[in-house]
Amino acid sequence: MRFIKYFAVFVLIFVSCKTKKNIMSSGSIAKEMSAKKVARKHIASNFNKKTVNAKLKANFNNGKLKQSISVSLRIKKDEVIWLKGTKFITVFKAKITPTSVSYYSPYAKNYFEGDFSMLKKLLGTDINFEQLQNLLLGQSLMNVKEEKQNVTIAGNSYLLSPEKQANLFDIFFAVNPSHFKLDKQSIVNSLKNQRLDILYPSYNLIDDEVFPSEIKIKAKQANKFTNIDFILKSVEFNTDFDTNFSIPKGYKKINL
């Protein structure tokens, strides 16, 4: 009896681990499902740790500047997003809270302190703290359960879109049928010839969390574009770290 008991426990553990691994590799086929159920499953897949401490490689290209740098990303969920970019030396530091954006560059000797207008200029659309946090975690920029959604199947993703789109832009969320995180999300403003596409080509299963291993941000405006690719090098959850931030004296303020 004792052998059977231990064997049963082993089987349960094995099946559980196998199931979690298969979330990432099963290649699930998107089958017909209601928009309400897809939205509910996407919300249920939300990141469930308190902190993120990650190392990334970032590739930046806006047509004028093309650069690859290493980025340290620290997130205290719902509190602060802290970033440091380096290429031999520190290129920039940034601290973003629900109410403010602070940034400085030892390389350019300039800084910014203010609201989210800096991120709007970079991405071409209004974005708040929660939306930026969701962008980095593979979640939708908007709460897909707040409004009724339409759903279609496109490219083996569940494509959610509000039944009633906003006046100034259309928004779409492509949900992965395996783990219900996002494959892609898009905000399109046809009148102003603007669009923001965020793609998630791959995820890793780390400490029971499905976490983006690659993020591609493509922001297009009438006469310019910005592409930012993030590639995950390492990540730890629920660790202690500081997010200290102070702008050195003598730097020139950026006026947007």
pLDDT digits (tens, 9 = 90+) for 122-172: 888 888 999 999 999 999 999 998 889 999 999 999 999 999 887 778 999
Distances (CA, A) of 63 to 60, 125, 216, 231: 9, 19, 16, 20
Strand partners, 90: 86
Q: Distance between CA 99 and CA 115 in Å, rounded? A: 7
Q: In CATH, what class is 31-233?
A: mainly beta
pTM assigned to the model = 0.86
User: Averaged over 104-130, what is the pLDDT?
Assistant: 90
By residue count, the chain amounts to 256
pLDDT of 59-83, one tens digit each?
999 999 899 999 999 999 999 999 9
Per residue in 197-233, pLDDT (tens digit) is 999 999 999 999 999 999 999 999 888 899 999 999 9
Q: pLDDT confidence of 3, banded at 50, 70, 90?
A: very low
pLDDT of residue 24: 54
Distances (CA, A) of 13 to 22, 95, 143, 161: 14, 41, 34, 38
Q: Which two tokens stand for residue 65?
A: 């500047």
Q: In terms of Cα–Cα distance, which of 156, 160, 203 is closest to 27?
A: 156
Q: What is the mean pLDDT of the chain?
A: 88
pLDDT band at 96; cut points 50, 70, 90: very high
Rounded average pLDDT over 25-53: 91
Where are the domains positioned within the chain? 31-233
Residue 32 neighbours by CB under 8 Å, 6+ apart:
153
User: Under 8 Å CB-to-CB from 86, ≥6 apart: which residues?
Assistant: 69, 70, 71, 72
Q: Where are any strands of DSSP class E within the chain?
A: 51-61, 66-76, 80-87, 89-96, 101-105, 110-114, 149-154, 157-162, 170-175, 182-189, 194-206, 209-221, 224-237, 252-253
Q: Which pLDDT band, with edges at 50, 70 and 90, does 2 fall under?
A: very low
